[in-house]
Amino acid sequence: MYMTESKKKILSFFYPSNLEYIMKQIGPPPFDIYSISYLLYGPELYKHPVKRESSRRSLELMVRMGILIKSTHIEVRNGMTCRLSRYRLDPLYDITVY
C-alpha cells in the first residue's frame, strides 16, 4: 500500500506544527471519521456522503499499515447513543518518514 495524497493530508493533521490549528477546528485527538472528513473536504461534505466513506477507507488502511490506532467509544449525540471509531497516531510511528 502506498501513501496517497489523502493519506498524507490525514497524517499532516497529526504534525505538532498543525496540531494547535486542528485542535481549534475539531478538538484534540483521537479524531472521528466525520471530523477528519470535514477537514479534508470542508462544508461540502454534507452534499457528498461518499467522501466520508472514502475517508473511512483511508483511515482503515492506515490502521492496517500500523500508522494509526483505532479505538471504539460510546457517545451520546443528538440524544442517541452511538458507537464511534476514533483514530490517533501510533506513538511508535515516526511521522517524519512521510
The domain locations on the chain are 5-91
According to DSSP H, which parts of 31-87 are helical? 33-41, 49-64
- What pTM value is reported for the model? 0.84
What does CATH list as the number for 5-91? 1.10.10.10
Residue reference for cell 477546528:
25
Q: Provide the pLDDT confidence category of residue 93 given band limits of 50, 70 and 90.
A: confident
pLDDT reported for residue 98: 54
Q: 92: alpha, beta or left, given left = phi > 0 and alpha = psi -120 to 50?
A: alpha
pLDDT in tens, 6-57: 899 999 988 888 888 898 988 888 899 989 999 998 888 878 889 989 999 9
- Assess whether pLDDT exceeds 60 at residue 61: yes
From 54, 49, 69, select the one nearest 9 (Cα to Cα). Answer: 54
27 alpha-carbon distance from chain centroid: 12
Q: Whole-angstrom Cα distance, residue 22 to residue 41? A: 14
